[in-house]
Amino acid sequence: MSTPRIHPDTIEEVKQRADIYDIVSERVVLKRQGKDFAGLCPFHEEKSPSFTVSTSKQMYYCFGCGAGGNAIKFLMELDKSSFADVVLDLARRYQVPVKTESPEQRQELQEKLSLREQLYEILAIATSFYQHALNQSQGVEALEYLTEKRRLSTETIQQFQLGYAPKGWEMLYDYLVEQKHFSVHLVEQAGLILPRKKGNGYYDRFRDRLMIPIHDIQGRVIGFGGRTLSDEQPKYLNSPETELFDKGKTLFGLDKAKTAISQQDKAVVVEGYFDVIALHAAGINNVVAALGTALSLTQVRQLLRYTESKQIILNFDADQAGTKAAERAIGEIETLAYQGRVQLRILNLPEGKDADEFLYSSSAENYQNLLENAPLWIDWQINQMLVNRDLTKVVEAQEIAQSMVKLLHKIESEVQRSQYIQSCAGILSQGEARLVPFLVKTLQKQLQKLRRRDEFKAEESSNIELPVLTERNLLEQAEALLLRIYLHCSESRQAVLDALESGNLQFSFSHHRLLWRQILEIEENSPNDIESIDLVSKLQDHLLEFPEDQQQIDHLLYLDDKAMANLGRTPLQIRAAIASMELALCRKRRSLALHMWQNTDRSENPELWKMYHEEFVGANRRIQELEPQRHTNFQDLATVPVGEIERSRLEKAYHQQL
């Protein structure tokens, strides 16, 4: 089903009613900073707030990662939702009547509006169906499993809404489709039934399984995990990916754990559903599970929203399978740990037990003590290197030392690396204190070799000359300055237009060309007075259609007070930016003229040879006129005197030709 086009009037009214502060403050803790608000960015990990919300502009912008936009863009990025879905959700929230661009799409829109609500309703009813079946005669075995083998109380069973899927092939199908009269296609979209491979009809996805509802952060059921009560495989069967459920973006138990994570300033990630349930039942409530996948950056960011210390503890079995599970679960979080942006710890419970088994033989207090003493990820890796190894054997000691060097090389913090070099030297010394200084120097030398090797590889793989790269950066900054002036200094817009037209100049970078096209399009459909147009507000909606380019443009739309103050000398800045743009054009012409001149035979084509020579000289003269303008009035863009380097190279070629 295609998404109906929502009428611009509806979009505009949603924008007017959906206050950026209200939307963002539900997900980010904001504190007033001047006339704006600031907080920790939800799109990347940071220790000090660089995420700013402007109520006057109805925009957010992060000076750390460059994320920016309005309330609609914020929800699109954070929840990975489409533009239409976010607008429709906000329309429902703020009671905005929804119109489509064409009347015939109205029915289609109503279907789109109700799809997610119907799926939520179907899953909620299915949850009640499974809960009811658990307490019937057919659910006796499942209930005994929960109360006797898992030792769960009635309160915990109810808290997690645990249930039972009966053995029949069409029990849930009959209930939802035949009795409740839900569309069979909706029930299939909810992930509860499957079409038969042969013939017509459907059958239940979950049969004779203990049912564990999976909730979103708001506590709504979005899927299920089903544990078999027989020898059927797989042991655990999850709901498929649906409109509501994406296991790579979902953490089991987060709806119940988020408050405790915030209060205790740390999150615990375990392997399975019942580890989460058992720990919550024991009063340890800051626990979630990752649904059998490696922790994705989306899941990590969800956890880090609730903890200032950025502390995440992975608790897996201490046996070999548990060790592999820990390494697999770390996934994308590993890089963040080496950078020091996440305080990652690993907890392996003794005797190869999982959390549920440990609580049965020990106590919640002992588990808490183990959490407090869980080693950091780097320490845990060092300990793993020593398992079943003998440092008294030279070969094994050398292998361990090499593994340590590779690990130390990944640590980005100089201070942290120095501490671990000392620690590793202490381990390798086997208690011989006099050997530690020698081993420290040895490890440092090995690290230097690795660093030099990486630098050499990086240098070999790069074919870009520094002068060309820097000149490109200068041009990009010049174009960006011109666009900022046009967007935020409405009184200078005509001056920018005149300067571009007189120099016959175009923007060189694709994202700048895209932004300029959008600006011109807005102005064509607006009143004649270009100074009166609120370009920033209008552009936020236009640019949502270009997500790949938007991140390169967002920083131009939002300026803080300091950046606005820097735009105070706009006539000089326009002149300097235009000079930089013309410089880039002239340098291309000069290089081309020199190339053509060098490859033209003077004796065969004297007129052509003379023409290229004159073009080269003219371009060179114009460059010499422009460079002082760029460097005098555009000093914030000049980083190194690349023009001098380039001029020297070209003049040498010129004199060789003469």
Please write down the HEC assignment for all residues of 311-338: EEEEEEECCHHHHHHHHHHHCCHHHHHH
Cα separation values, 467 from 470, 594, 640, 645, Å: 5, 18, 9, 7
User: 138 pLDDT exceeds 90?
Assistant: yes
* Higher pLDDT pick, 395 / 537: 395
Token pair listed for 227? 């544990």
DSSP state letters, 94-120 = TTPPP-BSSGGGHHHHHHHHHHHHHHH
Looking only at the bridges linking them, the beta strands covering 36-39 and 51-54 are: antiparallel
**Which has the minimum average pLDDT: 263-267, 309-313, 337-341?**
337-341
Residue whose token pair is 């326009």: 574
Q: What is the phi/psi pair of residue 384, to 5°?
A: -65, -30
* The pLDDT of residue 467: 40
Looking only at the bridges linking them, the beta strands covering 267-270 and 311-317 are: parallel
d(C-alpha 573, C-alpha 481), whole Å:
8
Domain extent listing, the chain: 8-101, 113-245, 249-385, 389-461, 467-653
Residue whose token pair is 């000049």: 638
Confidence of residue 637 (pLDDT cuts 50, 70, 90): very low
In this structure, are residues 119 and 189 in contact, taking their beta carbons and an 8 Å threshold? yes
Q: Quickly count: other Cβ atoms within 10 Å of residue 430's Cβ.
A: 10
Residues 6 or more apart from 266 whose CB is under 8 A from it?
A: 286, 307, 309, 311, 312, 313, 371
CATH superfamily of this structure's domain 113-245? DNA primase, catalytic core, N-terminal domain (3.90.980.10)
Cα separation values, 189 from 46, 177, 185, 357, Å: 38, 13, 6, 37
Confidence of residue 568 (pLDDT cuts 50, 70, 90): low
Confidence of residue 528 (pLDDT cuts 50, 70, 90): low
In this structure, are residues 91 and 98 in contact, taking their beta carbons and an 8 Å threshold? yes
* The pLDDT of residue 376: 93
Token pair listed for 75? 């929800």
CA angle 161, 163, 169 (to 5 degrees): 145
Give this prediction's pTM: 0.60
Q: Enumerate long-range contacts of 594-601, CB under 8 Å, 24 or more apart.
A: 594/650, 594/653, 594/654, 594/657, 597/657, 598/653, 598/657
Mean pLDDT of the chain: 83
Closest CA to 530 of 485, 486, 571: 486
In this structure, are residues 204 and 175 in contact, taking their beta carbons and an 8 Å threshold? no
* Higher pLDDT pick, 530 / 379: 379
**Which has the minimum average pLDDT: 232-241, 289-298, 336-345?**
289-298
Output the CATH code of domain 249-385. Answer: 3.40.1360.10
Looking only at the bridges linking them, the beta strands covering 163-165 and 209-215 are: antiparallel
* The pLDDT of residue 57: 79
Residues 6 or more apart from 95 whose CB is under 8 A from it?
A: none
**Which has the minimum average pLDDT: 21-30, 137-146, 297-306, 468-477?**
468-477
In this structure, are residues 17 and 87 in contact, taking their beta carbons and an 8 Å threshold? no
* The pLDDT of residue 326: 65
DSSP state letters, 372-434 = HTPPBHHHHHHHHHHTT--TTSHHHHHHHHHHHHHHHHH---HHHHHHHHHHHHHHHHTT-GG
Edge to edge, what strands does the sheet with 36-39 contain? 31-33, 36-39, 51-54, 59-62, 68-69
Closest CA to 492 of 572, 436, 430, 563: 572
Residue whose token pair is 């949850």: 127
Residues 6 or more apart from 279 whose CB is under 8 A from it?
A: 268, 270, 285, 287, 355, 359, 364, 367
In this structure, are residues 244 and 223 in contact, taking their beta carbons and an 8 Å threshold? yes
pLDDT in tens, 443-496: 999 999 888 887 666 555 544 343 443 567 778 888 888 898 888 888 888 888
In this structure, are residues 6 and 96 in contact, taking their beta carbons and an 8 Å threshold? no
CATH class, range 8-101: alpha beta
Confidence of residue 640 (pLDDT cuts 50, 70, 90): very low
Mean pLDDT of 555-583: 78
Closest CA to 182 of 110, 238, 126: 126
* The pLDDT of residue 548: 63
Supply the angle between the helices 510-524 and 466-488 in degrees, to the nearest 10: 20
Strand partners, 311: 343
* Higher pLDDT pick, 141 / 357: 141
Burial 8-41 (b: 16+ CB within 10 A, else e): eebbebbbeebebbebbeeebebeeeeebbbbbb
